[in-house]
């Protein structure tokens, strides 16, 4: 089977509107959580969010095109165009019939749904735009990426809650391995900081209500965590067969070594407290890569800052890695960028690859009082220089859906 490598990266996050800015801010321990500004939240229990700030879609598309896209598609198209530059495809394109787009999105155009529902209720059906449906559907991120880049291969979305982005990367990798396609634009995108989303997550008691000190609110694995902070953004990777990458002389960031996907078969929203489903996904990724647990140096944890998830993930890691779990360095990107839902696996996949490429593991912030049940090394002391041979990235979502991807340092 073909080897699959990563030849391009892009990101739009609450700590930066491009890859380099986001990576520098992550290494510096900068929080992207602040007062929520996208709507009047004065009556809400949660009044903080990890918003993408000062983003101008018209730097990447015309005003007319921007009007015909929801914000999540703005992020998708902008990220895709930056990805084309980073991968070298903008200047030296490949056969785009051999390049597809598989992009995860958990909720799609929720902002569009709320806006047009209000119009419908106030003014009747004639005020609903013919662009309403194309604006909101979750697969439109992949569709707009295809249009913007000319990618004519498979064009589809993975929608698996907070595992959507990592599932997108995993199944894109699988398609290339099977020889169906040479390259895929893969990752995740989301923008759902809206009244309905915040009120819905508040009703579930899922969101942090630490409104007084926003930058301290997202605290994965900390004893005083009280819920996740909703975020937004996008993270895309160009996955490519090794032969294709070598043929065009592409820069290779890392190799994709294995992918695992599983289900808890347990509950609509709560993870199985045993961590069995999470552990199964990690084991599958290691098995596919033919890698022993002791060879893994780093885990980019799902680490949501919710009571159950952090404990369950820690249990699952211990179950898979045994004593070696205490020798690895883990990190929780969500401590700085919040929980970007369907985009999380895409963004954190990008950061995992950059950790390998730069031999640098970002720290986790706000881990002031570790939960006794979360007793691994989460890099709470800042970013660390470390040679990484293998890095595992985890994403888990509502419905008990789990994904793990193992990246490795590229060696020809």
Mean of the pLDDT values across residues 376-404?
97
- Catalytic-residue membership of 324: no
Give me the catalytic one of 74, 167, 298, 302: 302
Residues of the chain with pLDDT > 70: what percent? 100
Tens of pLDDT, residue by residue over 210-237, are 999 999 999 999 999 999 999 999 999 9
Closest-CA residue to 107 (of 218, 211, 224, 188): 188
- Catalytic-residue membership of 167: no
* 117 close to 109: Cβ distance less than 8 angstroms: no
Q: Where in the chain is the domain with CATH 3.40.47.10?
A: 4-247, 260-405
Tens of pLDDT, residue by residue over 190-208, are 999 999 999 999 999 999 9
CA distances from 108 to 73, 151, 174 (A): 9, 21, 24
CB atoms closer than 10 angstroms to residue 124: 9
Tens of pLDDT, residue by residue over 60-77, are 999 999 999 999 999 999
The two three-digit tokens of residue 203, written as one number: 């009703």
Closest-CA residue to 296 (of 173, 408, 169, 166): 408
Degrees (nearest 5) of the Cα angle 130, 132, 135?
120
At 299 the pLDDT is: 98
Domain 260-405 CATH class label: alpha beta
Give me the catalytic one of 162, 312, 374, 393: 162
Return the H-helix or E-strand segment holding 102.
strand 99-104
**70 class by beta-carbon count within 10 Å (0-12 exposed, 13-18 middle, 19+ buried):** buried
Tens of pLDDT, residue by residue over 1-22, are 899 999 999 999 999 999 999 9
DSSP 8-state code for residue 271: P
Give me the catalytic one of 74, 167, 298, 339: 339
Compute CA 86 distance to the chain's CA centroid, rounded to the nearest angstrom: 19
DSSP 8-state code for residue 396: E
Average pLDDT for the chain: 97
At 181 the pLDDT is: 97
- pTM of the prediction? 0.98
- Catalytic-residue membership of 74: no
Tens of pLDDT, residue by residue over 242-283, are 999 999 999 999 999 999 999 999 999 999 999 999 999 999
**219 class by beta-carbon count within 10 Å (0-12 exposed, 13-18 middle, 19+ buried):** buried
Within 13 A of 24's CA, how many CA atoms are on the CB side?
A: 6
Whether 92 shows a pLDDT value over 90: the answer reads no
Whether 412 shows a pLDDT value over 90: the answer reads no
Degrees (nearest 5) of the Cα angle 364, 370, 373?
115
Q: Which is the CATH superfamily of the domain at 4-247?
A: Thiolase/Chalcone synthase (3.40.47.10)
């Amino acid at each position: 089977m073909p080897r699959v490598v990563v030849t391009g990266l892009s990101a739009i996050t609450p700590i930066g509107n491009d890859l380099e800015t986001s990576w520098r801010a992550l290494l510096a321990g900068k929080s992207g959580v602040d007062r929520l500004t996208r709507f009047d939240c004065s009556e809400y229990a949660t009044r903080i969010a990890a918003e993408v700030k000062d983003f101008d879609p018209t730097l990447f598309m015309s005003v007319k095109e921007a009007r015909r896209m929801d914000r999540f598609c703005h992020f998708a198209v902008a990220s895709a165009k930056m990805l084309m530059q980073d991968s070298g495809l903008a200047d030296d394109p490949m056969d785009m019939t051999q390049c597809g787009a598989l992009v995860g999105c958990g909720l799609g155009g929720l902002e569009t749904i709320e806006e047009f529902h209000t119009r419908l209720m106030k003014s009747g059906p004639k005020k609903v735009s013919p662009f309403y449906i194309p604006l909101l559907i979750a697969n439109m991120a992949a569709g707009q990426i295809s249009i913007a880049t000319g990618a004519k291969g498979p064009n589809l979305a993975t929608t698996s809650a907070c595992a959507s982005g990592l599932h997108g990367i995993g199944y894109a990798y699988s398609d290339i391995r099977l020889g169906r396609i040479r390259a895929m634009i893969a990752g995740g995108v989301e923008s759902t900081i809206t009244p309905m989303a915040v009120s819905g997550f508040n009703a579930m008691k899922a969101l942090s209500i630490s409104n007084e000190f926003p930058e301290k609110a997202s605290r994965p694995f900390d004893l005083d965590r009280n819920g996740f902070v909703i975020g937004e953004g996008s993270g895309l990777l160009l996955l490519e067969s090794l032969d294709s990458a070598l043929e065009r002389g592409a820069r290779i960031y890392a190799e994709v070594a294995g992918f695992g996907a599983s289900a808890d078969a347990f509950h609509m929203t709560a993870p199985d407290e045993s961590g069995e489903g999470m552990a199964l996904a990690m084991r599958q990724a290691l098995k596919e890569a033919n890698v022993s647990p002791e060879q893994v140096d780093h885990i980019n944890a799902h680490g949501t800052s919710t009571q159950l998830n952090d404990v369950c993930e820690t249990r699952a890691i211990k179950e898979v890695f045994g004593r070696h779990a205490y020798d690895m360095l883990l990190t929780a990107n969500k401590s700085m960028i919040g929980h970007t839902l369907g985009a999380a696996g895409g963004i954190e996949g990008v950061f995992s690859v950059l950790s390998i490429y730069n031999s640098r593991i970002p720290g986790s912030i706000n881990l002031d009082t570790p939960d006794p049940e979360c007793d691994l090394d989460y890099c709470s002391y800042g970013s660390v220089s470390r040679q990484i041979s293998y890095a595992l990235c985890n994403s888990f979502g509502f419905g008990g859906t789990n994904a793990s991807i193992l990246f490795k340092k590229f060696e020809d």
